[in-house]
Amino acid sequence: MDLINGNIFDVDQVNLLIHSRRSVYTNQFISGKPIPEEIIRQLLENANWAPTHKNTEPWRFVIFSGNGLKKLAEFQAALYKKNSGERYKEEKFEKLLKTPTECSHVIALCMKRSLDVNIPEIEEIAAVACAVQNLYLSACAYGLGGYWGTGGITYDEEAKPFFSLGEKDRLMGFFYLGFVRVPSPKGFRKPVEDKIIWVNQ
Ligand SMILES: Cc1cc2nc3c(=O)[nH]c(=O)nc-3n(C[C@H](O)[C@H](O)[C@H](O)COP(=O)(O)O)c2cc1C
């Protein structure tokens, strides 16, 4: 159904969805239980409707499931071992090997830089972040768990080719998805009143 702007949504439901969205971590998932592919496709469809300056649509997603999760796990653990130098910790290596296998799907969050459209990089990164919020909200609406993680190999330049990214593109982390075994606690935010300035004169 295509809808245009208008007061046709259940605003109470939308408000509830936004306030209920929580990060749900992989140790809270039903380990390895797969989410049906049609739901994953709907999450990605919703991500694709993020706002985008000059319609560059810079978000790209690489979706790992099944044996792909093991492939991701082995790649990131090996890259971490190779490049972490003195920062290397055996437990982090093991975590990188384990985390993807606890998920139904892991979505690599990527930004593809347009070479022919002159807009600041920050706006392309912001557009991808909007797409990720769509993923977050959609997962919540389906009763699924998920979170955006930026650890591990996220900022390792050498990781880019594995995700079909060029030099000017960015890996922005991973969205981990699974069925919820242990729900997250209620969220907390400092009052919005502390973060806003009204100018009305
Ligand atoms: C850009 C970004 C990066 C994040 N990276 C991580 C991360 O690496 N590890 C992690 O545990 N959570 C990460 N998070 C999730 C936040 O920890 C989480 O959103 C925050 O604790 C608020 O909780 P909520 O999402 O349940 O409201 C990230 C969130 C954002 C927006």
Residue of minimum CA distance from atom 20 in ligand 1: 23
* Residue 148 belongs to a domain: yes
In a domain, 51, yes or no: yes
Atom of ligand 1 nearest to the CA of 150: 8
* Nearest Cα residue to atom 11 of ligand 1: 149
CATH code at position 91: 3.40.109.10
80, part of any domain: yes
Residue 11 falls within a domain, yes or no?
no
Distance CA 144, CA 22 (A): 10
User: What pLDDT digit, counting tens, does each position of 29-67 carry?
Assistant: 999 899 999 999 999 999 999 999 999 999 999 999 999
The CA 113 to ligand 1 mean position distance, Å, reads 24
Categorize the per-residue pLDDT at 3 as very low, low, confident or very high, splitting at 50, 70 and 90: low
Which pLDDT belongs to residue 13? Answer: 96
- The residue segments making up the domain with residue 76 are 25-182
* Structural domain includes residue 195: no
Q: Quote the CA–CA distance of 73 and 32 in Å, as a whole number.
A: 14
Residue 2 placed within a domain: no
Q: Answer whether 100's CB lies under 8 Å from 73's CB.
A: yes
- pLDDT-based confidence at 1, cuts 50/70/90? low
* Residue 198 placed within a domain: no
- For the entire predicted model, the pTM comes to 0.96
Q: For Cα atoms 114, 150, 134, give the angle at the middle one, nearest 5 degrees.
A: 65
Number of structural domains the chain divides into: 1
- Kindly write down the DSSP assignment for every residue of 155-200, as one continuous string: T-GGGGGGGT--TTSEEEEEEEEEEBSSPPPPP----GGGG-----
The predicted pLDDT at position 9 comes to 87
Q: Is residue 200 part of a domain?
A: no
